[in-house]
Structure formats: C-alpha cells, structure tokens
Amino acid sequence: MLQAIHEAGFADFQEAHFAVFSFPLPDGTRPSELARQKRMSRQAVNYLLSQLEDLGYVERRAADDSDRRLVYLTPRGHEVVAAIFGCLRQLHEQWSKEVGKERFDDFVDVLKQLSTKAQEPTNR
C-alpha cells in the first residue's frame, strides 16, 4: 500500500504515518486522545505529528484560549486520506474476487465484530 501512496504523489509519506491516519481520523482531536485511540505513547504520537506537520499533512491549532491544541488535517492530509481509502477499496475488490464476495463479506463482518469486542473495557 505504501508504494501505491507514493505513486499517488505522496513520496514523503512513511509507513509509520499510517498509524495516525487509521480510523478514527485525527481531525479535531487532541494529541493525548489520539495516543489513547491508537494505543501509543503520547511521545510517539507527538513525534509522528511533528513529522506530519512538517510535511504538510496535519496542523495543530489552539482549541480555545487555553494552551491545549487540536490536530486537524490539512488539504494535503485530506488528499492522502482519499488515496489511502482508494487503495483500500482496490484491495477489497481484489480480495473479494480471489475468495468470492460472500466469503469476503463474512470475513469483514467477523473483523468488525472482533474490532468492536477489542474496544470494550475488560474486567480482569
């Protein structure tokens, strides 16, 4: 997928950047919330955000009069998201053809169930 993103005109996009651009997207999110969602340290998220900001994919803006900041996608950030989703659609179509639409749809349903279950709090 990274190669396809590079070929789409985003040669500076790195594999590590996918972590920030996975669902949910970081549009209007605090870096600390983004770290929690991605299950990453705040330091790691801020490092990636600094890279992405330097490359023009995101920007950090003050949320209000306080010093807290929110992360927003720039127009370039929205463009790379569109390219990523285009690649994902192509992969889904390819895999659906390889295993059959019904089997692939079942696979996607199972992944959705597992993802939902994984996000539930655990009582351990």
Residues 6+ apart with CB under 8 A from 35: 41, 42, 44, 45
**Residue boundaries of the structural domains of the chain:** 2-119
* 67 has pLDDT over 80: no
- Which tens digits make up the pLDDT trace of 4-30? 999 999 999 999 999 999 888 888 899
Mean pLDDT of 89-104: 95
Cross-strand bridge partners of residue 60 = 71
pLDDT at 124: 53
pLDDT averaged over every residue in the chain: 91
Classify domain 2-119 by CATH architecture: Orthogonal Bundle (1.10)
pLDDT at 117: 86
